[in-house]
Structure 1
Amino acid sequence: MTTRIDNLKLLCFASEIDDATIDQAKETAGLPFVHPHVALMPDAHHGMGSAVGTVIPTVDAVIPAAVGVDIGCGMIAVRTTLDATAIAELDLAALRISIESAIPLSPGNYNRSTARYAFTAARIAALEAMAEADGVDLSHSPTWREQLGSLGGGNHFIELCLDEDGRVWMFLHSGSRGVGNRIAKRHIAIAQKLCRQWHIPLPQDDLAYLPDGTPELDTYLGDLAWAQRFAFENRAEMMDRFRQAFAHWVGHVGEPADLEAERINCHHNYTVRERHGGKDVWLTRKGAIDAHEGVRGIIPGSMGTRSYIVTGRGHGGALCSAPHGAGRRFSRREAKRRFTEADLAAAMTGIEYRHGAEWVDEIPQAYKDIDVVMADAERLVSVDHTLRQILNVKGT
């Protein structure tokens, strides 16, 4: 379904949505530089500044808090050459432990060394060169190199999945880690300071923006591009480590890369230059993926539910975008109040995962029904593969 809200520049593609999320979207859609309209994705829910699952096209301005503090957060998926029969007798717990050894988990937990894997050096060198060429100041994050290849916490995860034909997929979700967070917070504060200084009325401080023609916007765009690249490479780094652990687990004697059939790596928190409504705009996808016609994408469910590999249909009303996941139904605090560790164990029956009360706020019941989200997204994407988890790893 698609609903235009109160004749505003706001289209909603969600059949299940709360008033707080709609109110946030109305505030964003009411900004004078929005063109042609804001699109609310099927998984939209209340967030900081603007709702998660909001696609925001802006002319000559960018809203740093709308991009969010996890710049470039997104998904990566690899289809392997193996199927379920090849791993049926193997111990999933052993793979989980290997993954946990290879990839630092949880906020603030980084690599002790950048020399453990041979493929890491090239990524660090490329990011260093990009920062130098574009004048990106990273003095606020002296440990950014050690952050590359680390997962984080919250809803970031690593999974082993099977698709509808029993083929094995590697799957993970993460972003730009602490360095992206510091870049975001710095520019959010600058935008808020400037809007106050210029006496610009705003519905709320987190909709403060940086206008075209200012050095502040130029600096932000350079820093933003670097953080988005870091997030992309961070996922690729973790996937290469996952692939190596997987190859060892299955007893593969050749190169780990030989086990990889295809790879998809996509952002869902980012800003990019696109053309919509006859104008070149800065398109911010806050909890949404690129769904231009023919573009491959990833829509994960919550832990314990299905996930999807999709191809975009190029729906203009949705600004060529699609949902980025199930979307939260309950806050983390509310989920911990409603559910128990036993509830989580029941929901994760048959899936190898890290047991403990720390993960109760990620229980599938805390999220929207992914089947409803995908039904709402039917005009936005076509489904290529449906995946179910057999192993899940999360940070706290």
Structure 2
Amino acid sequence: MENKRINGNDLIALGYKENHAMGVALKINKKRLGFTREQMLVNFKNVLDNPELYLEDAIFKPLAEILLKIDTIEKETISLKEKPGTYAVYGEENIEEGAKKQMDVAMKLQVTVAGALMPDAHQGYGLPIGGVLATKNAVIPYGVGVDIGCRMALSVFDLPASYLEDHADKLKNILMEKTRFGAGHGYLKHERVDHEVLENALFETHDFIRPLKDKAWTQLGSSGGGNHFVEFGMIEFTKADDVLGVNKGKYLALLTHSGSRGLGATIAAHYTKLAKKLCKLPYEAQNLAYLDLNTAEGQEYWLAMNLAGDYASACHQVIHDKIKTALGVELLAKVENHHNFAWKEQFNGEEVIVHRKGATPASKDVMGIIPGSMATPGFLVRGKGEESAINSASHGAGRLMSRTQAIKTLSSTDLKAMLEDNGITLLGAGMDEAPMAYKDIHTVMAAQAGLVDTVATFSPKIVRMADDGSRED
């Protein structure tokens, strides 16, 4: 009991309210600073009762200050709707309560028009991963996410699937030579490639973006950490697809998942902080702080977000071009889609801002890619345009357990056996990305049968991921 973490319920029992003071107290508690749990609780109670006595205290001063001005803060706070609006939930039986509670809060925002929760949903920051939220003329940086424009890209080559076994060593070498992974990692000056995205005027005219150009150039064509990957696999079309121009058959394919790297993360951090400063929401909703698109700040973020999305796309293009050239083959088809983004769309006859944080666009006939894990299938899909889902679908299988839980509880022996059983070669990655840490992709796909049609199935065979413990996703 001595080291049990102090949580919000403990503070409520002392008399704290669910407001910003509670947030400050919990931050202080994370450090513990040599106090026992009981000593911390006594201190928290004393500061609550007599905050003026702690204004010079090195540890509790921030808490005392916010307690003394909490009434003023709450007067400036933008109120939430009394009750959350209704929203569609797909695969509800497999979605954790934390994700639903976050969605409930998002549905109370004054700017919210509609919402939906995808079957891969799990708890995140602000809007849950797998959350879709339509707002009126407002964009939520944390509703977009940290890895702005993170996306999937699939290249189908004019080679049979048998190429995977016949040239396995060549394919492994290509992945090792033509890709680079991990937070902060990039290319030296003599290794860099050029791309038109670097000519975007924002790199010259946008005060915040300008200093980020060199980092963007350094990381162009690289992949992040966490669940980002570059992999060769077999894609099977059980029937010809006239739209893509691909005949029935099994082909060699390349699938990639990554985002906007350091550029996007820096943009997200800056504008999330700015949104919180300008948009004072109640404590439970503070990570949903939004920017009005009629303001200069809102327009700045919108432009920066779109640049990050274009940059993420450019990274995938560079990777796919390098690998296609190394293979010396022709491209039969290429499909790309992004998540962690906000779009201007029509919904119920009005223009709204649709945030898809870990959700795939699935408007009528729109193509998308929904991966499983390093050892389970992914799916090339075509959207059905289901309005109750705000024209969306899942962006993957979704996490079943946290990274920390996966590392502590999953067995490397079990992972090795699973990879061998499925004929998969893994280059890099850690136990936090083991397939067992994810929901069953077939269950997820069944829960969204009304949202997308499956066009082809992708089976990963040679998978490369970050092996340095990076958590960029």
TM-score (ref. length: structure 2): 0.75
- Native 8 Å contact 1:347 1:363 kept in 2: no
Tell me by how many angstroms 1:338 deviates. 1.1
Q: 1:375 to 1:134 in 2, by over 3 A?
A: farther
Distance 2:205 2:129 in 1: 29
RMSD, matched Cα: 1.8
Kindly indicate whether residue 258 of structure 2 is the aligned counterpart of residue 174 of structure 1.
yes
Alignment-derived partner of residue 269 in structure 1 = 340
1:224 aligns with 2:305: yes
Following TM superposition, by how much is the alpha carbon of 1:93 offset from its aligned partner in structure 2, in angstroms?
3.9
Query: Is the 8 Å Cα contact of residues 136 and 222 (structure 1) preserved in structure 2?
Result: no
2:117 pairs, out of 40, 51, 67, with: 40
Secondary structure of the equivalent of 2:109? coil
Residue 354, structure 1, aligned to residue 432, structure 2: no
Residue in structure 2 matched with residue 62 of structure 1 by the alignment: 139
Q: Distance in 1 between matches of 2:275 and 2:135?
A: 15
Aligned 1:373-388 pairs, distance under 5 A: 373-388=444-459
Q: 2:176 — aligned with what?
A: 100
CA change 1:134–1:9 in 2 (3 A) is farther
Contact 2:367–2:380, Cα closer than 8 Å, also in 1: yes
Asked which structure has the greater CA Rg, the reply is 2
Partners in 2 of 1:146 and 1:334 — Cα distance?
33
Q: TM-score, normalised by structure 1?
A: 0.89
Equivalent pairs counted in the alignment come to 369
Q: Distance in 2 between matches of 1:81 and 1:364?
A: 29
1:183-231 per-position Cα deviation (integer Å, ceiling 9, x unaligned): 01000000011124xxx43533211111232111011111111111101
In structure 2, distance between residues paired with 1:181 and 1:238: 20
How far the C-alpha of 1:87 sits from its partner, in A, is 4.2
Could you say which residue in structure 1 is the equivalent of 2:69?
A: none
**Aligned-partner SS, 2:387:** coil
User: 1:53 aligns to what SS in structure 2?
Assistant: strand
Report the alpha carbon displacement of residue 97 of structure 1 after superposing the two structures with TM.
3.0
Alignment partner of 1:210 is 2:286: no
For 1:143, the equivalent position in structure 2 comes to 215
- Choose the corresponding residue for 2:128, options 40, 51, 56: 51
Which AA in structure 2 matches 1:48? Y
Q: Deviations over 1:136-175 (max 9, x none)?
A: 6324423210111001110000111112332111101000
Unpaired segments ≥5 residues, structure 2: 1-82, 237-248, 468-473
Secondary structure of 2:426's counterpart equals coil
Partner of 1:26: 104
State the Cα distance separating 1:108 from its structure 2 match: 1.1
> d(CA) in 1 for partners of 2:412 and 2:451?
36
Measure how far apart 1:385 and its partner are: 0.2
Aligned to 2:245: none
Equivalent residues of 1:158, 1:393 under 8 A apart: yes
Separation in 1, partners of 2:443, 2:190 = 42
Q: 1:321 to 1:109 in 2, by over 3 A?
A: same
Q: Are 2:367 and 1:296 aligned?
A: yes
- 8 Å CA contact retained: 1:268, 1:324: yes
In the alignment, residue 281 of structure 1 is paired with which amino acid?
V
Q: Distance in 1 between matches of 2:451 and 2:354?
A: 17
Contact 1:291 1:311 in 2 (8 A): yes
8 A contact 1:76–1:264 mirrored in 2: yes
Counterpart AA for 2:96:
D
User: 2:319 & 2:223 partners in 1: Cα distance?
Assistant: 8
Q: 2:227 aligns with which of 137, 145, 155?
A: 155
By how many angstroms is 1:95 displaced? Answer: 2.2
Query: Any stretches of 5+ residues in structure 1 without a counterpart?
Result: 1-5, 248-255
State the alpha-carbon separation in 1 of the partners of residues 190 and 320 from structure 2. Answer: 16
> Does the Cα contact within 8 Å between 1:157 and 1:173 map onto a contact in 2?
yes
SS at match of 1:185: helix
User: Could you say which structure has the greater relative contact order, defined with CA pairs below 8 angstroms and 6 or more residues apart?
Assistant: 1
Q: What is the percentage of aligned positions where both structures have the same residue?
A: 34
Amino acid paired to 2:435: P
Counterpart of 2:298 in 1: which secondary structure? Answer: helix
In the alignment, the residues of structure 2 paired with residue 129 and residue 328 of structure 1 have an alpha-carbon distance, to the nearest angstrom, of 35
The more displaced of 161-170 and 386-395 is 161-170
